[in-house]
A and B are shown apart, each in its own frame.
Chain A
Amino acid sequence: MIRKTVLIGILCAVALALISASFISASPVKATAPASKCDMASAVLQDDAQPTEKLELTCQYPALSSYAGLNYSYSISVTYSGGKESKIFNLKAVVPEGFVSAIAPGYGEGQEIAEIRLDANKGYPETVKLTVRPYAWKVPVPGEYPITFEVSSGNLKSLILLKAIVTANYDMKMTTPDGRLNTEATAGQDNNFTVVVGNSGSADLEKVEVSCKAQDRPNGWTVTCQPDKIDSLKAGATKEVQVTVKPSEKTISGDYMLTIQAEPESKNAFTNLQIRTTVLTPTIWGWVGVGIVVLVIVALAIIFIRFGRR
């Protein structure tokens, strides 16, 4: 019985491992293949041989603008005319470094296509969707990036120049170095903890102010951040900020919420982090309290022994 389940378990594990391995090995191949071919394709750009057969590429929005890190989707209409019958065309996109492209039918999702069969006398264009996206791990620098989309069949080829405009992306993140969102503090004393402010946008941030606003902390507490202003935070850079919390002298021990926020002067990005602060009984008072209790018990015992009989 047990052996059976173990066997099934092992089989399942092996199956899973195989499936995941196939995914991992598949993805880099797809990602690099179009990029390596693009240079050769761009060499045969201007050739337009057969005047009778016409291949026309149009795009209604050839230049797309988006925040860094987002995708660009172009809808390209391909019109083939003058031919006698249907023909198979190669589809190829040349994208700048740091991007990957994917070609898909204008309708329908998921399926990537590399070739397309076009009917010469169809009368209306076929739509192809070209999606260009930056590498997930590398946010592209803001700027304009040219993209070439080429459709070819033998000598008949046509290409269209597209443009991806990467606009600056302002985003910030705040975490703690170890990811813990709680800390301990002692009333009436300075307690330190560190937060990490990161620029997760694509543009540099200037004069980032790190602070804890009055409404974000319990009354009577002081919270200071060191530094409280980061002069410049490069895109992708992080900076450790030391937060010093001083709960008021008379804080009842227990959990309190603090919210640390960071915002550049331009106010085009914002982030905050809630920290659960556990105020501990100051050791001295804790001991005094325990001491009092012990004292009372001892005193009672003495009284009982001294004045009681036997």
Chain B
Amino acid sequence: MAGLIEIFRKELADNFNSKRFLILFLLVYLAGAATIYIAAQNIRATVDDSTRYIFLNLFIVSGSNIPFSFPLFMSIFIPIIGIALGFDAVNSERTSGNLSRLLSQPIYRDNVINGKFLAGLVMIAILIVSIVTLVAGLGLRMIGVPPEAEEILRLCMFVIVSILYGAFWMSLAVLFSVVFNKAATSALASIAIWLFLFLFMGLIANLIAVTVVPINADSTVEQIASFDTLYRMINRISPGTLYVESIQAVLLPILGTSSPTMMMIGIYSGLKPTPLPLSQSLLIVWPQLVGLLALTAICFAIAYIKFMREEIRAT
């Protein structure tokens, strides 16, 4: 236990001292400030008197010409941060020759990987909590509308889900750092997976869904619905989809389903959306959250087992 705490503190100190994270932090804060500025510029256009959660809107609205919103920004930055935190967790220790030395001290082997993971998690948490509170503070200053209790709860949920998402990418990167001996290889592998999921997953899901359920301009609502279901089922292989769906439900209380397409169909057919209570929103995203958690756990477990069984040889 003492070993875990020591390693955790050392890793944390490393992170805080590294230029890598200084740059990353600054980048995130700047981008966050830009998004909040854009949001504050455009929030008047999106809010009408029927809008109940004005403060939450601050986190949703995007620019009118620039489709850049806070969730989009987060869904791009969090993977980068997670990967940056994890990709050289184990292999850098190994190549630098520190691992043998470290493990010859009276600590359990898993202390190393756990300590590193925890420190990374704390970094992600600090980053996300600070950026959300900063945005909230700046937003409050700019729009002058205080959040309701439920909005605060929803923002907390947003923070938790975001941390979870970061944890997933970090555990994936940690896994690669155990599998690949070169930090560059593991970084490339992580980024490749991220890019693939980010750029091509939707394309592939669309392709498969279209071949299975062909739709066109005069398809019935049922056909569109089944297409949409299939499309999203496939898309959910990507943790990014799980994250986006979760934060949509959390930040948009009005969303009665995790499918924006179905929601639009509902609105066109005359259903007026009413905001759901938080518990209902959570119920909707429960599967997504569990999915994210499971993916994180699987990646970490593989990394953990691999690391525990591996031979520690100074090469």
The residues of A with any CB-CB pair to B shorter than 8 Å are 187, 218-220, 248-254, 279-282, 285-286, 288-293, 295-296, 299-300, 303-304, 307-310
Cβ–Cβ < 8 Å partners of B13 in chain A: 307-309
Docked-complex contact B54 and A293, CB < 8 angstroms: no
Docked-complex contact B16 and A307, CB < 8 angstroms: yes
Complex CA distance for A198 and B44, rounded to whole angstroms: 35
Closest chain-A Cβ to B275's Cβ sits at a distance in Å of 14
- Map CB proximity to A onto B21-43 as digits: 1 under 8 Å, 0 otherwise: 00000000000000000000001
The residues of B with any CB-CB pair to A shorter than 8 Å are 9, 12-13, 16-17, 43-44, 47-49, 54, 126, 130, 133-134, 136-146
> Nearest chain-B residue to A249 (Cβ)?
B145
Docked-complex contact A251 and B137, CB < 8 angstroms: no
Residue among A289, A304, A307, A308 with the highest chain B CB neighbour number at 10 A: A307
Cβ–Cβ < 8 Å partners of B142 in chain A: 253, 281, 289
Closest chain-A Cβ to B247's Cβ sits at a distance in Å of 21
> Nearest chain-A residue to B13 (Cβ)?
A309
Q: Main SS of the interface on chain B?
A: helix
Say which residue of B43, B126, B141 sits within 8 Å of A289 (CB atoms).
Answer: B141
Docked-complex contact A289 and B145, CB < 8 angstroms: no
Complex CA distance for A307 and B136, rounded to whole angstroms: 25
Contacts A/B (CB < 8 Å), 23 sampled: A187-B145, A249-B145, A252-B43, A252-B44, A252-B143, A253-B142, A254-B44, A285-B141, A285-B144, A286-B141, A288-B137, A288-B140, A288-B146, A289-B136, A289-B139, A289-B142, A292-B140, A293-B137, A296-B134, A300-B130, A304-B16, A307-B13, A309-B13
Contacts A187-B144, A289-B137, A303-B16 given; does A220 touch B49 at CB 8 Å: yes
Contacts A279-B144, A282-B144 given; does A289 touch B130 at CB 8 Å: no
Contacts A289-B138, A293-B138 given; does A307 touch B144 at CB 8 Å: no
Docked-complex contact B16 and A299, CB < 8 angstroms: no
Cβ–Cβ < 8 Å partners of B48 in chain A: 219
Docked-complex contact A250 and B17, CB < 8 angstroms: no
Complex CA distance for A288 and B152, rounded to whole angstroms: 15
Cβ–Cβ < 8 Å partners of A310 in chain B: 17
Docked-complex contact B17 and A251, CB < 8 angstroms: no
Cβ–Cβ < 8 Å partners of A219 in chain B: 48-49
Docked-complex contact B12 and A307, CB < 8 angstroms: yes
Say which residue of A251, A285, A304, A308 sits within 8 Å of B140 (CB atoms).
Answer: A285
Question: Which 3 A-B pairs rank lowest in CB-CB distance, beginning with the nearest?
Answer: A281-B144, A292-B137, A289-B141
Closest chain-B Cβ to A257's Cβ sits at a distance in Å of 12
Docked-complex contact A252 and B54, CB < 8 angstroms: yes
Docked-complex contact A285 and B145, CB < 8 angstroms: yes
Cβ–Cβ < 8 Å partners of B138 in chain A: 289, 293
Say which residue of A281, A296, A309 sits within 8 Å of B130 (CB atoms).
Answer: A296
Cβ–Cβ < 8 Å partners of A300 in chain B: 126, 130
Complex CA distance for A30 and B138, rounded to whole angstroms: 68
Complex CA distance for A299 and B49, rounded to whole angstroms: 36
Closest chain-A Cβ to B89's Cβ sits at a distance in Å of 18
Say which residue of A279, A291, A308 sits within 8 Å of B17 (CB atoms).
Answer: A308
Docked-complex contact A252 and B145, CB < 8 angstroms: yes
Contacts A219-B49, A303-B16 given; does A281 touch B141 at CB 8 Å: yes
Complex CA distance for A26 and B122, rounded to whole angstroms: 88
Docked-complex contact B43 and A308, CB < 8 angstroms: no
Closest chain-B Cβ to A130's Cβ sits at a distance in Å of 59
> Nearest chain-A residue to B127 (Cβ)?
A300
Q: Name 4 extra pairs, CB < 8 A, besides A293-B134, A296-B137.
A: A187-B144, A288-B140, A300-B130, A304-B16
Complex CA distance for A58 and B156, rounded to whole angstroms: 92
Complex CA distance for A15 and B140, rounded to whole angstroms: 60
Docked-complex contact A292 and B136, CB < 8 angstroms: yes
Cβ–Cβ < 8 Å partners of A291 in chain B: 137
Complex CA distance for A309 and B16, rounded to whole angstroms: 8
Contacts A219-B49, A252-B143 given; does A299 touch B9 at CB 8 Å: no
Complex CA distance for A303 and B54, rounded to whole angstroms: 32
> Nearest chain-A residue to B148 (Cβ)?
A250
Say which residue of B9, B126, B137, B146 sits within 8 Å of A290 (CB atoms).
Answer: B137
> Nearest chain-B residue to A247 (Cβ)?
B144
Complex CA distance for A248 and B54, rounded to whole angstroms: 12
Complex CA distance for A252 and B138, rounded to whole angstroms: 13
Closest chain-A Cβ to B170's Cβ sits at a distance in Å of 18
Docked-complex contact B130 and A253, CB < 8 angstroms: no
> Nearest chain-B residue to A303 (Cβ)?
B126
Complex CA distance for A285 and B146, rounded to whole angstroms: 7
Docked-complex contact B9 and A253, CB < 8 angstroms: no
> Nearest chain-A residue to B146 (Cβ)?
A285
Say which residue of B47, B133, B134 sits within 8 Å of A252 (CB atoms).
Answer: B47
Closest chain-B Cβ to A181's Cβ sits at a distance in Å of 21
Cβ–Cβ < 8 Å partners of A290 in chain B: 137, 141
Closest chain-B Cβ to A72's Cβ sits at a distance in Å of 53
Closest chain-B Cβ to A291's Cβ sits at a distance in Å of 7
Closest chain-B Cβ to A222's Cβ sits at a distance in Å of 13
Complex CA distance for A290 and B137, rounded to whole angstroms: 6
Complex CA distance for A295 and B139, rounded to whole angstroms: 15
Complex CA distance for A220 and B145, rounded to whole angstroms: 14
Closest chain-A Cβ to B52's Cβ sits at a distance in Å of 9
Cβ–Cβ < 8 Å partners of B54 in chain A: 250, 252
> Nearest chain-A residue to B18 (Cβ)?
A308
